[in-house]
């Protein structure tokens, strides 16, 4: 008989690991700081086409001297046209006026006369609209959590659906924090891309958790309630272990290829999606196997203990 992993028995170790990761996330947020994209905090993004070679540090200096505003300059590759553009990002509470746009374009063309700089696009984001957009994204995540709790509570009502739903969402919250951790560590700004990664990870992770819950329900039905809960959950997790690992490995490998392509072609927007996705999927495998089931067992055991005390009293 194949040896089983005692997942429930090692739940304290798993909870300590998760607590350490969350603590590291909090520390890194204060030490490294959290970058928030212009989409959420307001500002302007200007895109210029150019030829030859550009020194981004010199370009930043020209922008700051002309507009008296700090700016971040990046070179990005347009895969469709196989050309490179320079992207200037300026966060702030005020949009860039047409007069300031003209001043900046003139200053850049005078400072870099051999690079044929020409404005391609400008995006102004009002701070109030950015904050509203951010709140709507958070609301979407919270709404997804609520729907998942309701769905799991209904589908697995025979094994204590509400508790299963709450524990599954706690595991999902762990995954969302790990995606945030990856963004902080790799210095990716929080943007709509970050929110897209979080929502995608929630879908992948909850799918693996539901598979485990489904196996728990079937095993409990077959055992007629005679098998101890911890043993039942351990058996269910081990029965779905291979499927959970193999399914996620295939997707992670695809994301690794995407990351390699993004690095080779210097496409930071794709890298900002793919790299946190890898971290989130690894976290999703961990939380589905080592958190959601054991947490549910802890809830049920605590519930049974309280019922026993109440009955004895």
Which of 33, 97, 38 has its CA nearest to residue 71?
A: 38
| Topology (CATH) of 129-312 | Multidrug efflux transporter AcrB transmembrane fold (1.20.1640)
Instruction: Provide the pLDDT confidence category of residue 172 given band limits of 50, 70 and 90.
Output: very high
Q: How much is the pLDDT for 174?
A: 94
Instruction: Provide the pLDDT confidence category of residue 184 given band limits of 50, 70 and 90.
Output: very high
**Is the pLDDT reported for residue 191 higher than 90?**
no
Q: How much is the pLDDT for 225?
A: 67
Least confident piece of the model among 82-96, 198-212, 223-237: 82-96
pLDDT tens readout for residues 30-70? 999 888 888 788 788 888 888 888 888 888 888 888 888 87
**Is the pLDDT reported for residue 215 higher than 80?**
yes
When pLDDT is averaged across residues 135-159 and rounded to a whole number, the result is: 88
How many angstroms separate the Cα of 265 from the Cα of each of 23, 121, 184, 260, 270?
35, 21, 23, 9, 10
How many angstroms separate the Cα of 25 from the Cα of each of 22, 33, 145, 179, 199?
5, 11, 21, 10, 19
Instruction: Assess if CATH 3.30.300.10 describes domain 43-125.
Output: no
Which sign, positive or negative, has the C-alpha torsion 108, 109, 113, 117?
positive
**Is the pLDDT reported for residue 196 higher than 60?**
yes
For the chain, give every domain's residue range. Answer: 43-125, 129-312
Instruction: Provide the pLDDT confidence category of residue 280 given band limits of 50, 70 and 90.
Output: very high
**Is the pLDDT reported for residue 121 higher than 80?**
yes
Instruction: Provide the pLDDT confidence category of residue 267 given band limits of 50, 70 and 90.
Output: confident
When pLDDT is averaged across residues 61-87 and rounded to a whole number, the result is: 79
**Is the pLDDT reported for residue 1 higher than 70?**
no
% of the chain beyond a pLDDT of 70: 96
Please state, in angstroms and rounded to a whole number, the distance separating the CA atoms of residues 220 and 301: 15
Q: What is the mean pLDDT of the chain?
A: 86
Q: How much is the pLDDT for 93?
A: 63
**Is the pLDDT reported for residue 18 higher than 90?**
yes
End-to-end CA distance of the chain: 44
pTM of structure: 0.84
Please state, in angstroms and rounded to a whole number, the distance separating the CA atoms of residues 304 and 298: 10
When pLDDT is averaged across residues 270-279 and rounded to a whole number, the result is: 92
Instruction: Provide the pLDDT confidence category of residue 81 given band limits of 50, 70 and 90.
Output: low
């Amino acid at each position: 008989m194949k040896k089983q992993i005692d997942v429930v028995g090692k739940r304290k170790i798993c909870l300590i690991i998760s607590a350490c990761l969350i603590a590291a996330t909090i520390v890194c947020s204060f030490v490294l700081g959290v970058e928030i994209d212009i989409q959420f905090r307001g500002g302007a993004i200007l895109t210029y086409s150019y030829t030859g070679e550009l020194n981004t540090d010199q370009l930043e200096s020209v922008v700051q001297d002309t507009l008296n505003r700090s700016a971040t300059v990046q070179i990005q590759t347009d895969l469709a046209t196989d050309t490179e553009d320079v992207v200037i990002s300026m966060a702030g509470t005020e949009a860039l006026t047409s007069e300031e746009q003209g001043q900046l374009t003139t200053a850049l063309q005078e400072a870099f006369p051999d690079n044929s700089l020409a404005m391609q696009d400008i995006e102004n984001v009002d701070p109030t609209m950015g904050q509203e957009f951010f709140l709507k994204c958070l609301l979407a995540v919270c709404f997804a959590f609520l729907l998942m709790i309701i769905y799991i509570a209904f589908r697995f009502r025979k094994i204590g659906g509400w508790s299963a739903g709450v524990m599954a969402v706690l595991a999902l919250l762990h995954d969302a924090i790990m995606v945030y951790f990856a963004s902080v560590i790799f210095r990716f700004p929080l943007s709509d891309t970050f929110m897209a990664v979080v929502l995608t990870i929630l879908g992948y992770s909850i799918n693996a958790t539901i598979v485990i819950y489904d196996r728990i329900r079937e095993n409990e039905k077959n055992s007629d309630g005679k098998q101890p809960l911890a043993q039942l959950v351990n058996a269910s997790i081990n029965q779905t272990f291979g499927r959970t690992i193999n399914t996620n490995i295939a997707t992670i490998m695809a994301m690794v290829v995407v990351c390699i392509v993004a690095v080779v072609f210097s496409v930071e927007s794709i890298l900002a999606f793919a790299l946190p996705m890898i971290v989130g999927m690894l976290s999703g495998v961990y939380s589905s196997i080592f958190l959601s089931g054991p947490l549910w067992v802890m809830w049920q055991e605590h519930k049974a203990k309280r019922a026993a005390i109440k009955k004895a009293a």
